[in-house]
Chain A
Amino acid sequence: MGTILELRDVKRYFGIRSGGWVGGGVEKPLKAVDGASFSIASGSSFGVAGESGSGKSTMGKLILRLDRPTGGAIEFEGRDIGKLDAQGDAWYRTRVQAVFQDASGSLDPRMRISAIVAEPLEIHARTGPNRLTKIEIREKVEDMLAQVALPERVMHDFPHELSGGQKQRVAIARAMILEPTMLVLDEPVSALDVSIRAQVLNLLSDFQDRYGLTYLMISHDLATLGHVSSQLAVMYLGRIVEIGDTEEIYERPLHPYTKALFRAMPLPDPDRVKSAPSLRGEIGSALDLPKGCRFCPRCDEAMPVCSAVDPELVDVGAGRQVACHLIGGPQLTKATHQRGSNE
């Protein structure tokens, strides 16, 4: 399996003016994504976890080319997507598609379901050598709706006539109609009820098996990510703090933030004893980053060095990288922390 997507030191800073009147003030950089590097293997599922404000959705937008990075490069199938011309842009949009959390917000309320699902084809396949006729488009739409298990009669419905789960199926059908190679899924099941959530996750897993799709799933829900993804990146204030094999991270989280996320995750197990509170305080501001490690103000295991030096992501073996002074870094490794004192 080759690499389908690679991020190299991707940054997205927003200039935020503060203080002063209109046009005045000092511009400060808001570091939404601050140096993200990883690669995704073709046909695999990559999960991105983090709280609101961690920069995970901004990263999704950068990958979708809905926003441009201010630094670094994103390569898809060997091409730098920052340097695509109009033709390249059209190509990219047929290869990479998106499904977002709120299906009601991403479906035009005045379009019928058949038109919504057909629109990508209308844009990309009405011209050029592979042009499709109206009848062919219709057949494809019918076939796709069948694949996402929607009854044929919904074709003529408007989005408001469908339930939340059905709307998300329509969004998936629209994303899949161009036969992309990769889907960016930003909280695709967070708004759905438990019983519907399982249906949609199973549907996504069927598509992956059938077409060898690559998924990038962004979510705050570690249980869902743990089910879907084989690789996982945990983000905090614009930085990836831990990245590696999902199962291994679940088994032995190394970064104190990852550990805290697992402790905070509610599990339907009445016998689980909750020890210490998962985390004090709240996620900081990306405008006013703490000196040193960004997680330091909330970290129980912080050392003096943590508030002075920003830790780099270091390789800890088995394909795992962690950005924490407790694990490698300037201080010597404390063996006790390697054993994962979680649970």
Chain B
Amino acid sequence: MTQAPLLSVEDLRTYCYTRAGVVKAVDGVRFALERGDSLGLVGESGSGKSMTCNSILRLLPKPAARTVGGRVLWDGRDLLTLSEREMRRVRGREIGMILQDPLISLNPVFTIANQVGEPFRLRGAAKGRSDLREKVLDVLRQVHIPSPEARLSQYPFEFSGGMRQRTVAAIALAGSPGLLIADEPTTSLDVTIQDQFLRLLRELQEKTGMALILVTHDLGIVAETCNKVAVMYAGKIVEFGDVRQVLTSPAHPYTEALLKALPVPGTRQKRLYQISGEPPNLLDPPAGCAFEPRCHRAMQACKKARPPIKRLSDGRQAACLALEAGEVR
């Protein structure tokens, strides 16, 4: 490799310390992103997708969760070793974030202009009030808020769900970040509004070349928005690769089962393929592969050893003993 990737997450481990025991919420996650990449981070609730993002930005709930190991290399620095002061310069400016519920991200008692202008003011990026106003209008236009001039003095409650989420995106973009982390940004939106928002993300990416990490449980959203995908299960990435490869010929039995469990529109099947059981209790995970109890390809060996993530011949990575090294089904 000639150049270091934009973001490189190495063996990231974040544990939650609860009264009932230690939960390995993120357990050895590893991936790398290039400029312009968009990575879909998929998995079921509790698989560790959000914890991975929060670990990168060091926004973990304290003191319950702690990153106990690994490195997050960004722009030549390990984010995990920065001081809180240095970290605050990274958040928002170098790495932006959008959360699931825009109402929680927006302050109900401040105007839109005030909130969208905040990142500019904090950085001292605006010369005077009229310049600030221009900058705010500019980002609001970028996210397609209709008649932004009239919207400046409004409050979040006057905005619809889709407009609120676009406002949050405007705030995240105000710092022109090199990476945007969006954690289930469209879960609270209707399909047509979701479609508009995902288009906006793609458009912004094309324009600015920023990288994107999109957390979602919807493989359809990944197919439409991302070029890479990481499938998480029980705190680990079980498959990582190019979206087309992974979605058209999944290597890991979990990815395969997830895709098969989706209802196919227009074809009324009698029964859906069903993954039996439920995700493991992370307080007491299985000794071997975490997916083994639900896996249709499980072998005796799967009960004993955790499968390491291996690079297959087509470049993607998967963690499954049923796959011989280098073999792609």
Contacts and interface: CB of A to CB of B under 8 A. Distances in A.
Instruction: Indicate, yes or no, whether A interacts with B.
Output: yes
Interface in A182-203: 193-199, 201-202
Given A268-B222, A270-B244, A198 B274 contact: yes
Contacts of B267: 226
A165 B271 CA distance: 18
B100 to A, nearest CB: 13
B195 A270 contact: no
A15 to B, nearest CB: 23
B269 interface: yes
A205 B273 CA distance: 13
A39 interface: no
Contacts, number: 136
Interface string B256-292: 0111011111111111111110110000000000000
B143 to A, nearest CB: 14
Given A201-B263, A227-B269, A277 B45 contact: no
B150 interface: no
A252 B262 CA distance: 21
Contact of A202 (B190, B191, B218, B272): B272
- For the residues of A in contact with B, the DSSP-based class is helix
Interface stretch (A66-74, A104-112, A259-267, A320-328): A259-267
Contact of B258 (A194, A228, A283): A194
Interface in B190-211: 190-196, 198-199
Contact of B223 (A224, A266, A279): A266
B293 to A, nearest CB: 12
Nearest to B270: A205
A294 to B, nearest CB: 14
B162 interface: yes
A220 interface: yes
A42 interface: no
Contact of A266 (B193, B220, B278): B220
Contacts of B60: none
Given A223-B264, A267-B265, A202 B44 contact: no
B261 A198 contact: yes
B328 interface: no
Given A223-B265, A246-B268, A270-B244, A163 B278 contact: yes
B271 A202 contact: yes
A274 interface: yes
B243 A197 contact: no
A247 B45 contact: no
A261 B191 contact: yes
Given A227-B272, A250-B265, A267 B223 contact: yes
A166 B199 CA distance: 36
B221 interface: yes
A37 interface: no
Nearest to B44: A193
A185 to B, nearest CB: 14
A282 B248 contact: no
B214 to A, nearest CB: 12
A198 B272 contact: yes
A274 B265 CA distance: 17
Contacts of A122: none
Contacts of B261: 194-195, 197-198
Given A198-B272, A202-B271, A220 B191 contact: yes
Given A227-B268, A246-B268, A277-B196, A264 B191 contact: yes
B219 interface: yes
B219 to A, nearest CB: 4
Contacts of A222: 191, 265
Nearest to A229: B268
Nearest to B195: A264
Given A268-B220, A279-B192, A195 B44 contact: yes
A269 B265 CA distance: 12
B257 to A, nearest CB: 7
A198 B266 contact: no
Contacts of B160: 282
A52 interface: yes
A223 B257 contact: no
Given A269-B247, A270-B243, A279 B272 contact: no
A282 B262 contact: no
B217 interface: yes
Contacts of B266: 226, 247, 250-251
Contacts of B243: 270
Nearest to A49: B191
Interface string A8-41: 0000000000000000000000000000000000
B224 interface: yes
A261 B195 CA distance: 10
B220 A226 contact: no
Given A195-B44, A272-B223, A282-B160, A226 B195 contact: no
Contacts of A261: 191-192
A267 B244 contact: no
Task: Please indicate which of the listed interface residues B218, B224, B267, B269 has the most CB atoms of chain A within 10 Å of its own CB.
Answer: B224
Interface in A259-311: 260-272, 274, 277-280, 282-283
A156 B279 CA distance: 22
Contacts of A164: 45
A51 interface: yes
A230 interface: yes
B274 A165 contact: no
A251 B193 CA distance: 23
Contacts of B269: 227
Contact of A165 (B163, B195, B278): B278
A194 B191 CA distance: 17
Contacts of A277: 195-196, 199
Given A52-B190, A194-B262, A271-B248, 10 more contacts: A193-B217, A202-B272, A222-B191, A250-B266, A261-B192, A262-B265, A264-B194, A265-B191, A268-B220, A268-B222
The 4 closest A-B pairs by CB, nearest first: A266-B220, A227-B263, A250-B266, A264-B195
9 contacts: A195-B275, A197-B261, A198-B262, A201-B263, A226-B266, A227-B268, A266-B224, A268-B219, A271-B248
